[in-house]
Structure 1
Amino acid sequence: MRIEDLALLVALTEVDGIGDKRALELYREFETKTEFESSSRSDFDQFHYVDNDTHQQLQELGAVIDEYRERFERYQSEGTAVIGIDDERYPASLRHHHAPLVLYTKGNLSRLDDRLVSVSGSRETNEDGRGWIREVAGEMAAEDYTIVSGGAAGTDTAAHKGALEETGSTIVVLPTGVNNTYPEENTELFAEIVDAGGLLLSHRPPEEGPTRHAFLDRNKTISALSPGTVIVATDGSGGTMAQYKTAIKQGRQVFVPDSSLGIEPSGGVEEIRSDGSTAVVSTSFELMDRLQCLPPLEHGNQLTGESDDDGQMSLDDWG
């Protein structure tokens, strides 16, 4: 997907009443800035949400498109890849589950083509839990798996470090831009991951900080990228429990550690373990055996979810 095409697509979201889904619909119909500028009102008869005011805004998008093009070119010159939803490099699994129009990445993009497994867990995971997932991640990396996690303290950091110690095969899905490290304490770790051939990935432009919705978006991406998600530890509240529910909604297999491993906090894990669809594992080899039995992830080229009245995708419907 060319930068000028991506700039047009994102610029369309600046038009009143045009959210991501409608922007993609219009982009795929008209494709170039010239077609929008030279269009007549009747060209949009099939799009009920395009009235006279909207059509005028669509014809006057030139300056906004140029601004996005210059911005994306600058990001790329500074080492951040900008990947649009129609780019062949865009992960196919995300097109079915919470598909942002743009991904920003730093590092080795080929990691997205690896065999992936996702990891989530509490920031307060005890030493037994951190040690277990670090060992599991390292052993899986040695068997050509890439570990996907969110870069947070505790469980996420242990998983990333385990993979880094073996092959560097890990993907950090950030709630911030790739140049705005969160948490700050992991700045050096993230740099090491990129240097070792791993990948930083975000929905947000490179310098932007976190928002509440950014954490929700991150979690949806973590589980959507891989066929299975390991929930290491949770007390039953917070982001890890939300990650579990998201993975189930996306049709992903959820794994939890066996209770004999002594991993805490475990209140939420006990609840998850009681779910008949959850797989309990003790070792990386059990986990890999079960992953190999899962069907391949879906592929597609459409956004999912329904639009709100203003054309924006709601968080509930988006994933």
Structure 2
Amino acid sequence: MSESELIYLLALQRIPYVGDITAKKLVHHFGSAEAIFKAKKDRILAIDGVGHKVAKLLDFSAYEREVLQEINFIQENGIKVTYFEESTYPEHLKHCIDAPILLFEKGNIDLQHKKIISIVGTRKATNHGIAFCEQLISELAPLNPVIVSGFAYGIDICAHKAALANNLQTVACLAHGLNQIYPKSHQKYKNEVLKNGGFISDFWSDKTFDRKNFLKRNRVIAGISEATIVIESAEKGGSLVTADIAHSYNREVFAVPGRTTDSFSKGCNELIKTQKAQLITSAADLVYYLGWEIEENKPKQTQLFVDLSGEEEKVLNELKKLGKTELDVLALACQMPTFEITTYLLSLELNGLVRPLPGKMFEVI
């Protein structure tokens, strides 16, 4: 994307009544943002869904000053701008109809060919929710996923911190420009995040904290990953909105169950009850449903001396007897519920003792 085209794309973003869907429609029709502003009014009006209001506002000179100010901010602060038609635009997000036409990034973000999950939850996280979040990310660490969240209080910042603690890349999606951090108390995590991932936003530098921006930000969190995990949520809240958006994108959604009397489990329990989310109790559930492999393109050597729990030994011994076996058959042979046996299988897989096969099959290495 040339600087000239970026200037016109920024101007297109500034036009009232033109959101990301309409902007993409205009770009696809005319071939470039610059061509939109140079097109005659009757050609603009010929496009379905674009009315007189928009056609009248397509005057580049009206936005030139503020666009050039934003260009200066981008250049002076080392902001990377990614256009939705570029190959470096996040692959999962690219397929969302309302994805941002431009993404602003800062840090060392690399989402190409990565396992990416979003983790969200209440801002008033309980000790149980924090512990689950930390344990989940620790268990997933060998798979080297990118952890995405919203840098807010509670579960969000817990997910970012747990990712950093496990040397994983983490990406914070912001609901304001990249010239600030909200909440201010999270400023202390900024440099670590920049080193091990970074910040993403589709807001200009003049956009400050505003509650309505969080709803817009949530579509990026939901769209950029292959799965969204809700760890704790009350009956209403932003994390449920993110889950709904992810569900509408046909992405996998997971929710951590809890007691019916726990206020911050009500949202998760409702997601599971209405079948908008799969129940998740450990990393094994996520690995199983997403079909992730422990390592790509690297055969893992079997370890000779591994300390196994009694349950893990039982699963391994049964699998040795049965040979290639379906998960449900193995669970029946071990007299264990499926959700429990997947945890042991993941541990055995991480130790190089078993491997998953297509069709929910497993075998001893």
TM-score normalised per structure 2: 0.69
- Cα distance in 1 for partners of 2:125, 2:54 equals 54
**Partners of 2:27 and 2:36 within 8 A in 1:** no
Taking CA–CA contacts closer than 8 Å with sequence separation of 6 or more, which of the two structures ends up with the larger relative contact order? 1
Instruction: Tell me how many residue pairs correspond in the alignment.
Output: 289
- Cα distance in 1 for partners of 2:13, 2:207 equals 18
**Partners of 2:20 and 2:99 within 8 A in 1:** no
Residue type at the aligned position of 1:137: I
- Cα distance in 1 for partners of 2:281, 2:27 equals 48
Residue 123 of structure 2: aligned partner = 123
Residues 1:278 and 1:25: Cα distance change in structure 2 (over 3 Å): closer
Residue 272 of structure 2: aligned partner = 273
Residues 1:216 and 1:19: Cα distance change in structure 2 (over 3 Å): closer
Residue 176 of structure 1: aligned partner = 176
Residue type at the aligned position of 1:148: V
Partner of 1:235: helix, strand, or coil?
A: coil
Partner of 2:82: helix, strand, or coil?
A: strand
**Partners of 2:230 and 2:268 within 8 A in 1:** yes
- Cα distance in 2 for partners of 1:34, 1:284 equals 49
Partner of 1:265: helix, strand, or coil?
A: helix
> How far does residue 177 in structure 1 lie from its aligned partner after superposition?
1.7
- Cα distance in 1 for partners of 2:88, 2:2 equals 12
Residue type at the aligned position of 2:278: A
Residue 297 of structure 1: aligned partner = none
- Cα distance in 2 for partners of 1:173, 1:208 equals 14
- Cα distance in 2 for partners of 1:64, 1:180 equals 23
Partner of 1:216: helix, strand, or coil?
A: helix
Give the structure with higher Rg (CA): 2
Residue 221 of structure 2: aligned partner = 222
Does 2:191 align with 1:187? no
> How far does residue 119 in structure 1 lie from its aligned partner after superposition?
0.7
Residues 1:129 and 1:40: Cα distance change in structure 2 (over 3 Å): closer
**Partners of 2:173 and 2:217 within 8 A in 1:** yes
Residue 99 of structure 1: aligned partner = 99
Does 2:189 align with 1:201? no
Residues 1:61 and 1:30: Cα distance change in structure 2 (over 3 Å): farther
Partner of 1:255: helix, strand, or coil?
A: strand
TM-score normalised per structure 1: 0.79
Give the alignment's Cα RMSD to 1 decimal. 3.0
- Cα distance in 2 for partners of 1:3, 1:63 equals 19
> How far does residue 69 in structure 1 lie from its aligned partner after superposition?
4.6
Partner of 2:179: helix, strand, or coil?
A: coil
> How far does residue 236 in structure 1 lie from its aligned partner after superposition?
1.0
Residue type at the aligned position of 1:217: K
After TM superposition, the structure 1 = structure 2 runs for residues 23-172 of structure 1, keeping only pairs within 5 Å, are: 23-28=23-28, 29=30, 31=32, 33=34, 36-37=37-38, 39-40=39-40, 43-44=43-44, 46-47=46-47, 49=50, 54=55, 58=58, 60-62=59-61, 64-65=63-64, 67-69=66-68, 71-97=70-96, 98-111=98-111, 113-172=113-172
**Partners of 1:134 and 1:158 within 8 A in 2:** yes
> How far does residue 242 in structure 1 lie from its aligned partner after superposition?
1.8
- Cα distance in 2 for partners of 1:44, 1:216 equals 30
**Partners of 1:235 and 1:268 within 8 A in 2:** yes
| Unaligned residue ranges in structure 1 (runs of 5+) | 295-319
Residue 242 of structure 1: aligned partner = 241
Residues 1:291 and 1:166: Cα distance change in structure 2 (over 3 Å): same
Residue type at the aligned position of 1:6: L
Residue type at the aligned position of 1:106: K
**Partners of 1:134 and 1:160 within 8 A in 2:** no
Does 2:254 align with 1:255? yes
Residue type at the aligned position of 1:76: Q
Residues 1:7 and 1:284: Cα distance change in structure 2 (over 3 Å): same
> How far does residue 257 in structure 1 lie from its aligned partner after superposition?
2.3
> How far does residue 161 in structure 1 lie from its aligned partner after superposition?
0.9
| Unaligned residue ranges in structure 2 (runs of 5+) | 294-365
- Cα distance in 2 for partners of 1:14, 1:125 equals 37
> How far does residue 241 in structure 1 lie from its aligned partner after superposition?
2.1
Residues 1:223 and 1:36: Cα distance change in structure 2 (over 3 Å): closer
**Partners of 2:172 and 2:199 within 8 A in 1:** yes
Deviations 1:274-295 (A, max 9, x none): 233532222223322222269x
- Cα distance in 2 for partners of 1:15, 1:132 equals 44
**Partners of 2:104 and 2:201 within 8 A in 1:** yes
Q: Percent identity?
A: 25
Residue type at the aligned position of 1:283: S
- Cα distance in 2 for partners of 1:24, 1:280 equals 36
Residues 1:292 and 1:21: Cα distance change in structure 2 (over 3 Å): same
> How far does residue 252 in structure 1 lie from its aligned partner after superposition?
1.6
Residues 1:236 and 1:62: Cα distance change in structure 2 (over 3 Å): same
- Cα distance in 1 for partners of 2:171, 2:250 equals 21
- Cα distance in 2 for partners of 1:259, 1:222 equals 24
